[in-house]
Structure 1
């Protein structure tokens, strides 16, 4: 059997983790034909140096069948994916922001070129929520989706609740332990969770929600007093993402909510994510796992690569 040939663009935490997995798992018969990152000092094996590029165009022009885009953000990621599709390549990406904002046009282009865009790693880290949602909707009418989709905010809220510490101290702890970026605005504002909720909505209902129409305060207005008030009545505050289908149109909400012990999300703590799916022929299914991190997210990318096996 011929190896699957891949090109990886973006060798940050997830990209390097994927590279290490593929170097270790030679039995998977996946060949890395090109590696690309703007940082030419990125650490890869000496024997792979000849495959390394700082210009993504060279990776796009390689004989890779699959381009794996892991740089994030809107540009040049959008250009990379468009050019790759036009060059006849399939795409795997973890880029939730790009897909949430530009996904409609990108998927239309992929259909036109008879190519695929796979995006398991864009939601839920190691949780295989996209693939399971696709399977479930073929045999069920999905009624609603609910989840904790951002590990940074969940870590902060968990620490505030458990240790009675302020928002700023909990954020510092999250940053120190690698669960929050130096600039955590995307997470605490709720935008990251909105991106992921839009992708779950598209996956379940084949409908695109306009990002600019979704408003959220995230957790930026949550104080230790709010946490303690909820705690005194046996409740917790969580950033909950909700998708409901009313008539034929899905609606989404991303908001900090008080939940009690009867909720499936009550004991989802720290960096963990969870997604609950409700369908016509089942009450609810709960998926839980680490929502971030290099190797968990790279594992989801790998699952997408393997879907291209003949």
Structure 2
């Protein structure tokens, strides 16, 4: 069966997708029996250099030509405005859609999926999370018999690279970010990555797939790594932890925690060993237990591989006359977002080096129902912080599990203690077997 495919947007991923379809089209035919033909590629600038030269007869500057001449429209423009227009126009004209647009799906996905459902059309979005890692397909198909309990993800290569350099090379955040830019792993403006928004978009999409429910993006708790101090990375290592920007989707009864923040995880865990620009996702199902998916989370070829996998799946469905299904067709209505997380905490305070300080801090924590699990030895912390013999020293505590609201209230009270200087450093600790 012949299936026509057109691409709107020929940047890094669009170029890789065109290259893959043209170079491996014969292999796809052998493996699937499908004749997937690239008909048109639209972009506003065909003069800029690319890693692969799209043949001239396939080029256009008009996205409407792509829609008219395709059975499957691949949107790889990015952003929300124009990309959304392209997708909705394609669906209105009866064309199936493949997209890698995490930003758009996380924030406006419900409108798009409902339009596709109304029209009986497929939307492929594997490439929106994890680049070449087939995590969406795994959740939708391989793990579909399971009730999903937890998802833990390292979903952004830029932040993982920065934290790896800080951990292994004793770089400050600014030094590691500068190196990431030199290596081409960070954009000139890396805010979406280092402030956690990229990971938040991705975990929102995974939660939608896992639970068949659209969670408003504004309900996700998001913290980035911009304020991470090398001292805390080193102290965490001393305590047996590795710091990662972790995206968490955790189900507790009828509540779902959706959060992205710097997180200490035990250094012996598999996720802790995921370094540099690599991504990984750990999914726990009620029957399968824990499974882990690992690979490159970005880049032209890995992401193009995921895009083309969606194209092949949709082409098979077209050939087989299979009814389109979308994340909401089995929606779990009773689930709602919880912001009162239940976690262990790492707390670092700058306090005077005198008796009685720890007792006062412990009293505030105790009054809020939070118990201290351990205190890092003062001499070791002072030596690592270079504050031996100084009047103000770091006090480092690890708590037992507590609720977020309790901890936030305690922090506000601790900040007001006269002996506490500066702003407390608070990092969550996840210790269930990841």
Greater mean alpha carbon deviation, residues 107-116 or residues 163-172: 163-172
Distance 1:231 1:146, change over 3 A: same
Structure 1 SS opposite 2:221: coil
Alignment partner, residue 245 of structure 1: 251
Selected match of 1:191 from 190, 197, 216 = 197
Alignment partner, residue 60 of structure 2: 53
Q: Distance in 1 between matches of 2:107 and 2:262?
A: 23
Structure 2 SS opposite 1:181: coil
State whether structure 2 residue 125 is matched by structure 1 residue 119. yes
Structure 1 SS opposite 2:283: strand
Greater mean alpha carbon deviation, residues 213-222 or residues 270-279: 213-222
Q: Distance in 2 between matches of 1:70 and 1:162?
A: 35
* Equivalent residue runs for 1:131-280 within 5 Å: 131-280=137-286
In the TM superposition, residue 251 of structure 1 has moved relative to its aligned partner by 2.4
Q: Distance in 2 between matches of 1:6 and 1:102?
A: 24
Contact persistence 1:207–1:250 (CA under 8 A): no
Q: Distance in 1 between matches of 2:21 and 2:57?
A: 17
Contact persistence 1:205–1:250 (CA under 8 A): no
Deviations 1:50-74 (A, max 9, x none): 3211121222222x00000011100
Deviations 1:106-158 (A, max 9, x none): 00000000001110000011110000111244211111111111111001000
Alignment partner, residue 290 of structure 1: 296
Q: Distance in 2 between matches of 1:215 and 1:131?
A: 25
Selected match of 1:65 from 45, 66, 71 = 71
Stretches of structure 1 that go unaligned for 5 or more consecutive residues are none
Question: TM-score of the superposition, structure 1-length normalised?
Answer: 0.95
In the TM superposition, residue 45 of structure 1 has moved relative to its aligned partner by 4.5
Give the number of aligned pairs.
Answer: 307
Distance 1:125 1:45, change over 3 A: closer
Contact persistence 1:123–1:130 (CA under 8 A): yes
Contact persistence 2:157–2:185 (CA under 8 A): yes
State whether structure 2 residue 18 is matched by structure 1 residue 19. yes
In the TM superposition, residue 173 of structure 1 has moved relative to its aligned partner by 1.4
Question: TM-score of the superposition, structure 2-length normalised?
Answer: 0.69
Greater mean alpha carbon deviation, residues 109-118 or residues 228-237: 228-237
Structure 2 SS opposite 1:273: strand
Structure 1 SS opposite 2:228: coil
Q: Distance in 2 between matches of 1:105 and 1:13?
A: 27
Q: CA RMSD in A?
A: 1.4
In the TM superposition, residue 283 of structure 1 has moved relative to its aligned partner by 2.0
Deviations 1:77-118 (A, max 9, x none): 001000000010000000000000000010000000000111
Contact persistence 2:221–2:258 (CA under 8 A): no
Q: Distance in 1 between matches of 2:58 and 2:142?
A: 40
Selected match of 1:303 from 309, 313, 331 = 309
Structure 1 SS opposite 2:271: coil
Q: Distance in 1 between matches of 2:216 and 2:255?
A: 13
Distance 1:235 1:249, change over 3 A: closer
Stretches of structure 2 that go unaligned for 5 or more consecutive residues are 29-34, 320-434
Structure number with greater CO (CA < 8 Å, separation at least 6) is 1
